Amino acid sequence: MFLTFMAAASLARRWSIHSLPAILVFPAFILALPSVPLPGDTSFPALHIALLLQLIILHLPNSPSLPVAINPKNAIPLSTLILRGATCVFMPVALFFLPAILLASFLVSASLTDTLLLVLPKHLEVPIDTRISFFALFVTVVILQLGAFGMTFAMFPSLASGASTSEWDRYSREVGLHARRTFVEALVRYEHYYFPMPFNILQLLIRVPCVGLSWFGYPVAPYLRSTERALWRISVGLIGAVISSFWLWGLV
């Protein structure tokens, strides 16, 4: 119930890359009702994929994530560098060699069977020379791809020297600017009277009736902000005050 509710709360706000696990988790539990996803069910692997995605997304520089919550000056630039390396280096090189990798893998797999490509007569076995050639082709393509990775990473902007005066620029000035921008976006996102998950469901319960009343000509927009402010104070604000009191006393 908790996973389903949190997934629904995530889908109730503006979708982003952080919504990908919820897109898998929510229908997996809904389609399995009145039971839960069990091993062997179609929806059970979706939960594993969602878990892997969630672990990866938690390391992205975009909030909410671990780099934003834990030592932003050090964690966000490193996360930004890794993300830019993956998008600017790893993905282009992998896609460039993808056709050759697929073809070489298929040829090696087919040569290890009794017949080649299932088109030769069954009594005609694949020659050992053909198997060796296809295996050599596969190894060559893998070596070329690894070499391309190495050369491309070497051409990637090198790490900034220790002469940098800011911790944000330790991985080059460009990466530091992107990291700063990401951190500012996180600060702007958590503005006053922000409803985090799953409290955004409470905000939705107020906004939906107000929108409906507005369609019928009732001017409820001036009261919407004040109502949300009061709701925030008795829900998110109250919990935040309790946690802050423990933090002030050094208990957390």
pLDDT at 55: 86
State the alpha helices, DSSP H only, in the chain. Answer: 2-11, 20-31, 44-57, 66-69, 72-85, 91-111, 128-155, 173-189, 200-215, 221-234, 236-248
Answer whether 124's CB lies under 8 Å from 115's CB: yes
Distance (Å, rounded) from C-alpha 79 to C-alpha 168? 11
pLDDT at 123: 47
pLDDT at 126: 61
Mean pLDDT by 10 residues, the chain (252 residues): 86 84 89 82 84 87 82 83 78 84 82 56 60 78 77 58 63 79 82 80 80 71 78 86 79 56
Distance (Å, rounded) from C-alpha 43 to C-alpha 131? 39
